Structure 1
Amino acid sequence: MLKLFSTLLFSLVSIPAFAFINIESLRQIDGKGYLGQTTLQVAGQQGNTDKFTSQASTMGVYRLDVNEWLYTASYQYGTSANVKDTNLGSGHIRHTWNYQEPLAYEAFAQSAFDEFKKLNSQNYAGGNLRFRIYHGEGNRLYAGVGAFYEVEDFEGQDEDAEGVRGNLYISHVARLNETVTSSTVIYYQPKFNDIANYRLRLMTGLDVRMTKSLSLDIDFNLVNDSGLPEGVKQTDIDYLVGFSVKY
Structure 2
Amino acid sequence: MEKVRLSGDSANYFLGSMGLSFNTNNRSINDDGETVSFIGLSANSDFAYISEKHSYLLISEFHYNATSDDPINSSGYGHFRTNFLRKQSVSYELFSQLQYDQGRGMQNRWLVGGGLRFRLKKTEKNSFYAGVGAMYEHEQWNYPGPREDNEQLNIWKSSNYISGRFQVNDHIHLNIISYYQTGYDPEAEYFRHRISGDLNLLVNVTSKLSLNTAVFAGYENRPVVPINKLVYSVTNGIILSF
TM-score strictly above 0.5: yes
Partner of 2:175: 183
1:142 is paired with a residue whose SS is strand
Instruction: From 223, 228, 232, give the equivalent of 1:233.
Output: 228
Who is 2:204 aligned against?
209
Secondary structure of 2:52 counterpart: coil
SS in 1 for 2:178: strand
Structure 1 vs Structure 2 CA RMSD: 2.2
Equivalences for 1:113-128 in 2 at 5 Å? Answer: 113-128=100-115
CA contact (8 A) 2:19 2:237 kept: no
Q: Residue by residue, what CA displacement relative to the aligned partner does 1:123-180 show, whole Å, maximum 9, x if unpaired?
A: 1111010011101121011100001011111125565211111111011001112221
> What is the CA–CA distance in structure 1 between the aligned matches of 2:55 and 2:207, rounded to whole Å?
27
Q: How does 1:74-153 map to 2 (within 5 A)?
A: 74-98=61-85, 101-153=88-140
2:195 to 173, 197, 200: 200
Give the drift of 1:99: 6.4
Change (3 A) 1:78 1:158: closer
Deviates more, 1:37-46 or 1:59-68: 37-46
Equivalent position of 1:168 in the other structure: 160
Gaps of 5+ in 2: 29-35, 144-148
Q: SS where residue 46 of structure 1 aligns?
A: strand
Q: Which has the higher contact order (CA 8 A, sep 6+)?
A: 1
Provide closer, same or farther for how the CA distance between residues 103 and 113 of structure 1 changes in structure 2, counting only shifts above 3 A.
same
SS in 2 for 1:83: coil
Residues 24-103 of structure 1 mapped to structure 2, 5 A cutoff: 24-28=2-6, 30=8, 31-32=10-11, 33-48=13-28, 50-98=37-85, 101-103=88-90
**TM-score scaled by structure 1?**
0.82
The aligned length equals 225
**What is the CA–CA distance in structure 2 between the aligned matches of 1:91 and 1:230, rounded to whole Å?**
23
